[in-house]
């Protein structure tokens, strides 16, 4: 532990499991006090296990996000960092996606991100400092796959929001950034994806493995820390090089193990 977030107060939304849990654990290791928000009541047990607070939060509701921000200020007197990581990714071809299906993914992933920025800016503007961070994805901004139309649109939208909010909030000492994970080996992926799928992803990733939640959390840690004080309006890709190959033949290079 290097105390990079000593005395910092952070909210992580979408933290019952997976990447959000990993970010919260990493922040706590570095000295932050962390409040978890999630629509899943199981997040209470996560909070207990890692030494965080928990406020039930549906990120698609502005009132809920405002309430968790208010709770941070009430408990700790300030809010230094907010990570909006909550996201849903139902697999659905565009031709089978109803308007309601579309709106639900927009409401959680994109409106939820807007809600986090809008709720946090009030407090951070008054403080004259803050870090607003989002989990985007390589899916949408760079690549996609069939069945991820709505999801891809939300993640591209988050990157636009990051740039707009970074510019609008730049006069208040607030930075706004995001992380774009590639394929991360979360509990959900291990549970729901076949070993064949995981092997095929490993083969497609130049570094030869899926990412860990800690790989993603380390990028968030940098963006949340004082080391990133001059970084705003951008995203960090954490994908093991997955975006790099022009084709499937990259392992054929001479001397490649």
Ligand X SMILES: NC(=O)c1ccc[n+]([C@@H]2O[C@H](COP(=O)([O-])OP(=O)(O)OC[C@H]3O[C@@H](n4cnc5c(N)ncnc54)[C@H](O)[C@@H]3O)[C@@H](O)[C@H]2O)c1
Complete DSSP assignment for 76-94: HS---EEEE-------B-G
Told to check if 14 binds ligand X by CB under 6 A, we report: yes
**Which residues are within 8 A (CB) of 44 and not within 5 positions of it... i.e. 6 or more apart?**
54
- Least Å distance between CB 39 and ligand X? 4
Told to check if 89 binds ligand X by CB under 6 A, we report: yes
- Least Å distance between CB 33 and ligand X? 20
76, 89, 151, 172: the catalytic one is 151
Q: Beta strands of 155-226 (E only): which ranges?
A: 174-181
Closer residue to ligand X, CB minimum distance, 232 or 235? 235
Give, for 111, the enclosing helix (H) or strand (E): none
Told to check if 40 binds ligand X by CB under 6 A, we report: yes
Closer residue to ligand X, CB minimum distance, 9 or 133? 133
Closer residue to ligand X, CB minimum distance, 14 or 149? 14
Strands 234-238 and 174-181: parallel
Which pairs from 154-159 meet CB under 8 Å and 24+ separation?
154/87, 154/105, 154/106, 154/109, 154/110, 155/109, 155/180, 157/109, 157/110, 157/113, 158/109, 158/110, 158/113, 158/134, 159/235
Q: Which stretch binds ligand X (CB under 6 A): 9-17, 140-148, 167-175, 195-203?
A: 9-17
Would residue 151 show up in a list of annotated catalytic residues for this protein?
yes
Closer residue to ligand X, CB minimum distance, 45 or 167? 45
Among 53, 60, 114, 132, binds ligand X (CB under 6 A): 60
Among 11, 18, 54, 55, binds ligand X (CB under 6 A): 18
- Least Å distance between CB 112 and ligand X? 6
Residue with tokens 């991360």: 184
Judge whether 6 and 55 are in contact, CB under 8 Å: no
Judge whether 162 and 134 are in contact, CB under 8 Å: yes
Closer residue to ligand X, CB minimum distance, 116 or 174? 116
Among 71, 92, 115, 137, binds ligand X (CB under 6 A): 137
Closer residue to ligand X, CB minimum distance, 197 or 229? 197
Among 29, 58, 70, 101, binds ligand X (CB under 6 A): 58
Judge whether 27 and 80 are in contact, CB under 8 Å: no
- Least Å distance between CB 238 and ligand X? 9
- Helix, strand, coil abundance in the chain, percent, nearest 5: 50, 15, 35
End-to-end CA gap in the chain = 34
Told to check if 152 binds ligand X by CB under 6 A, we report: no
Judge whether 141 and 94 are in contact, CB under 8 Å: no
Residues annotated as catalytic are 151
Residues within the interface to ligand X (CB under 6 A): 13-14, 16-20, 38-40, 57-60, 85-89, 108, 135, 137, 181, 183-184, 186, 188-189
């Amino acid at each position: 532990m290097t105390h990079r977030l000593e005395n910092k107060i952070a909210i992580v939304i979408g933290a019952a499991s997976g990447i959000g849990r990993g970010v919260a654990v990493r922040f706590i290791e570095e000295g932050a006090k962390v409040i978890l928000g999630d629509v899943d009541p199981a997040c209470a047990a996560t909070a207990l296990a890692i030494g965080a607070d928990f406020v039930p939060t549906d990120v698609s509701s502005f009132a809920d996000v405002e309430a968790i921000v208010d709770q941070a200020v009430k408990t700790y007197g300030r809010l230094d960092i907010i990570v909006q990581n909550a996201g849903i990714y139902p697999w659905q071809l565009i031709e089978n996606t109803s308007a309601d299906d579309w709106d639900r993914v927009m409401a959680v992933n994109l409106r939820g991100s807007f809600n986090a920025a809008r709720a946090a800016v009030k407090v951070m503007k008054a403080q004259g400092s803050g870090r607003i961070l989002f989990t985007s994805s390589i899916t949408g901004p760079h690549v996609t796959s069939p069945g991820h139309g709505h999801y891809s649109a939300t993640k591209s939208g988050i990157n636009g929001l990051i740039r707009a909010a970074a510019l609008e909030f730049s006069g208040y000492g607030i930075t706004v950034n995001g992380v774009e994970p590639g394929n991360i080996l979360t509990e959900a992926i291990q549970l729901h994806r076949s070993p064949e799928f995981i092997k095929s992803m490993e083969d497609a990733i130049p570094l030869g493995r899926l990412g860990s939640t800690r790989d993603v959390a380390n990028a968030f840690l940098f963006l949340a820390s004082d080391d990133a004080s001059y970084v705003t309006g951008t995203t960090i890709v954490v994908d093991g090089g997955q975006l790099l190959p022009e084709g499937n033949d990259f392992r054929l290079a001479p001397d490649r193990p």
